[in-house]
Structure 1
Amino acid sequence: MADTMKTDKLPFPILIGDIGGTNARFSILLDAYAEPKPFPNVRTADYPTIDDAIQKIVLDSSSVQPRSAILAIAGPIDGDEIDLTNCDWVVRPKGMITQLGFEDVLVVNDFEAQALAVAAMPDEYRETLGPNNQPHMASRVVLGPGTGLGVAGLVYARHMWFPVPGEGGHVDVGPRSERDFEIFPHLKRIEGRVSAEEILSGRGVVNIYQAVCAADGLQPAFSDPADITAHGLGGSNSQAVETLSLFATYLGRVAGDMALIFMARGGVYLAGGISQKIIPALKGPEFRAAFEDKAPHTELMGTIPTFVVTHPQAALAGLASFARTPSAYGLSMDGRRWQR
């Protein structure tokens, strides 16, 4: 394994991949100026290994054979065998070099890739929530409610962007309003505590909805997050409507906390599938009101812009941006890059 921290370029063509628990997405970047060439989305359950998927979907169907790979994975990167959090695939970079013919493999965290994406996110791929302040070239935060709650920081220093991965989705969240105190006793907990991920994720939508129903003395009518959000957006079920209102409020609170931690004058970016699906709810007053309600820093919070990332392949875009100009990013390669 190379123990390098240098930002020397990986050799083109480069395979870039975003490997989630359910889906994997791949593209090939021919050179620093080309647009990525995408391949069909892969369901991880359809292939026994990631090597199998890369061989069949990419290598067998392309005349271009990539010399290197940059993979973003949902899981901690530790050692030569890297387990994914929510699927059975194991990433073995040494095996990819010997079996698939790569010269160079770099593995990063999936939310580092999301952070790389927001360093240079064009206006057309973001939806503004609240005041339309232009983001400064300053620290940023990415939050992604989806299967879980991903959080990453992006620090700007020395004319470079430094992604900061972490586990911010597991911070504690507590009740604040009178309604919160009615609902929180009914929320499902992990070992006695309500973490942000337990209410700001797909299962979190269900958790809030069931707690609202319990507080109102009703039997839940829905058990699927998609049904709850659909009825909430459509206004056809009052508990589902309140669930989305509370989800926006709680997301605003946590996003505001992260903005304070990072002093994110460059903005807070909401990634992940849920954010895109509930933009109308996030554009209501609750999200920004909760985001800004941080006395004694309410005035400061009002100046920090918030966005929903609408790019369909944001993580791949972030990886491609890094592959083109690695010197613009302070991305640690130590322990995460393997070379032939």
Structure 2
Amino acid sequence: METKPWMLVADIGGTNARFGVYDQAEEELAFVKSYRVVEHQRFEEALSHFVDDVIGLGLWHPYPMHVCLAVACPIDGDLLSFTNSPWQVDRLLVSKFLGNAPTKLINDFTAVGYAVSNLKLEDWLEIHPGEAFRDKPIAILGPGTGLGVSTLIPLGEDYKVIEGEGGHVDFAPVDPHEIAILEKLTAQFGRVSVERLLSGSGIVNIYRCLAELAHREGHWKTPEEITQAARVGTDTLAVRTMQVFFRLLGSVAGDLALTLGAKGGIYIAGGIVPRFADLLVASEFNYRFEAKGRFREYLNTIPVRLVVKENLGLYGAAASL
């Protein structure tokens, strides 16, 4: 059987590394595999496993025509170190391993930006109603292992993706309860960014702080345990943790909208929130999104959309090629 050309795309975070075969003829992801970062000492091990799997299928050429790796760290040079994992990626080494295929490195939320600009109506759920203006910026944020942020700037009929590190801005509490949480986290970390709360480890941080403030012992140690307990309602601390999490997400989303003038809309992506759409809808997200004093009416008109399309980073990596 004659094999086909393909592009290798990857979305590499602090917890999972997802690889995909993007079939150039079909313009579709044809094969996707995910690997746990903690189960591989080096990025190249996971990459080698994926390439072996692709070759074993016998459908595509041994080497890809082009490669795009969307990685969870700032893009600066050919050798990158991840923010939330011990992995490194060497662009030149990857290209050589893949038969000297042209290899591109982009930030993971730059990839999300490329994907968001191509979403269809069925790819998102409206969380906060409003009117999206085609000629205004779009802001994207997404809690996962970290907190990703990017911006889409309209350029004629297209968009330019602006990468940034908005997850590392200062956490700004707005009530005494949040100030108490900040004080607890400051004692641990010194400086507290919003990523310390709006991420997988952030869920654990909030839960631990709430337990200490209530003089209780927290039963759960992982974000998976906490979110599961919150969903079934078996632990009031877990329920309160997710309530705080979504309130803070609303505040940060509102700050982004004001900072960027994001009247094109706010899109929420990442690995956490799409799995808990029910908790998000039932939370005070919308109240906190609008709670900006004299600019409440400004924010009242901006739509917030929860992205539910799977493999968003892989589609974005393909779009960037």
Shared fold by TM > 0.5?
A: yes
Number of matched residues?
A: 311
Q: Given the alignment, which residue of 123, 145, 148 partners 2:146? A: 148
Alignment partner, residue 217 of structure 2:
219
Which secondary structure does the structure 1 equivalent of 2:302 belong to?
coil
Q: Is contact 2:33–2:50 with CA below 8 Å preserved after alignment?
A: no
Say if 2:1 is the partner of 1:23: no
* 1:213-242 deviations in Å (ceiling 9; x for gaps): 222221222222222222222222222221
Alignment partner, residue 29 of structure 2:
36
Q: What do you get for the CA RMSD once the two structures are aligned?
A: 2.2
Q: Specify every segment of 5 or more residues in structure 1 that has no aligned partner in the other structure, as ranges.
A: 1-11, 324-340
- Tell me how far 1:42 sits from its aligned partner: 2.7
Alignment partner, residue 135 of structure 1:
132
Say if 2:240 is the partner of 1:242: yes
Q: Is contact 2:84–2:146 with CA below 8 Å preserved after alignment?
A: no
- Tell me how far 1:74 sits from its aligned partner: 1.4
Q: Is contact 1:130–1:283 with CA below 8 Å preserved after alignment?
A: no
Change (3 A) 1:244 1:200: same
Q: Is contact 1:47–1:53 with CA below 8 Å preserved after alignment?
A: no
Q: Is contact 2:146–2:200 with CA below 8 Å preserved after alignment?
A: yes
Alignment partner, residue 99 of structure 2:
101
Alignment partner, residue 4 of structure 1:
none
Alignment partner, residue 183 of structure 2:
185
Alpha-carbon distance in structure 1 between the residues aligned to 2:18 and 2:8: 10
* 1:168-196 deviations in Å (ceiling 9; x for gaps): 11111233224334443333556533210
Q: Given the alignment, which residue of 47, 54, 77 partners 1:58? A: 54
Which secondary structure does the structure 1 equivalent of 2:10 belong to?
strand
Alpha-carbon distance in structure 1 between the residues aligned to 2:52 and 2:187: 42
Alpha-carbon distance in structure 2 between the residues aligned to 1:89 and 1:217: 38
Q: Identity over aligned residues, as a percent? A: 35
Q: In the alignment, residue 117 of structure 1 is paired with which amino acid?
A: A
Larger RCO: 1 or 2 (CA < 8 Å, sep 6+): 1
Alpha-carbon distance in structure 1 between the residues aligned to 2:238 and 2:117: 35
Q: Is contact 2:243–2:283 with CA below 8 Å preserved after alignment?
A: no
Q: Is contact 2:248–2:288 with CA below 8 Å preserved after alignment?
A: yes
- Tell me how far 1:114 sits from its aligned partner: 0.9
Q: Given the alignment, which residue of 90, 93, 101 partners 1:92? A: 90
Alpha-carbon distance in structure 2 between the residues aligned to 1:308 and 1:71: 24
Alignment partner, residue 328 of structure 1:
none
Alpha-carbon distance in structure 2 between the residues aligned to 1:111 and 1:38: 22
Q: Is contact 2:74–2:165 with CA below 8 Å preserved after alignment?
A: no
Which secondary structure does the structure 2 equivalent of 1:174 belong to?
coil
Q: Given the alignment, which residue of 157, 175, 184 partners 1:159? A: 157
Q: In the alignment, residue 132 of structure 2 is paired with which amino acid?
A: P
Q: Is contact 2:131–2:301 with CA below 8 Å preserved after alignment?
A: no
- Tell me how far 1:298 sits from its aligned partner: 0.8
- What is the TM-score normalised by the length of structure 2? 0.88
Q: Given the alignment, which residue of 97, 109, 112 partners 1:111? A: 109
Alignment partner, residue 65 of structure 2:
67
Q: Is contact 1:141–1:268 with CA below 8 Å preserved after alignment?
A: yes
Alpha-carbon distance in structure 1 between the residues aligned to 2:32 and 2:269: 22
Say if 2:174 is the partner of 1:176: yes
Q: Is contact 1:141–1:153 with CA below 8 Å preserved after alignment?
A: yes
Q: Specify every segment of 5 or more residues in structure 2 that has no aligned partner in the other structure, as ranges.
A: none
Alpha-carbon distance in structure 1 between the residues aligned to 2:75 and 2:111: 14
Change (3 A) 1:30 1:178: closer
- What is the TM-score normalised by the length of structure 1? 0.84
Change (3 A) 1:70 1:297: same
Which secondary structure does the structure 1 equivalent of 2:8 belong to?
strand
Alpha-carbon distance in structure 2 between the residues aligned to 1:88 and 1:243: 28
* 1:54-103 deviations in Å (ceiling 9; x for gaps): 43233454432221111111122232323333444433332333332143
Alignment partner, residue 119 of structure 2:
121
Which secondary structure does the structure 2 equivalent of 1:278 belong to?
helix
Which secondary structure does the structure 2 equivalent of 1:101 belong to?
coil
- Tell me how far 1:295 sits from its aligned partner: 2.1
Alpha-carbon distance in structure 1 between the residues aligned to 2:167 and 2:312: 19
* 1:257-277 deviations in Å (ceiling 9; x for gaps): 011111111111111121122
Alpha-carbon distance in structure 1 between the residues aligned to 2:120 and 2:99: 35
Q: In the alignment, residue 23 of structure 1 is paired with which amino acid?
A: N
Change (3 A) 1:217 1:121: same
Q: In the alignment, residue 17 of structure 2 is paired with which amino acid?
A: A
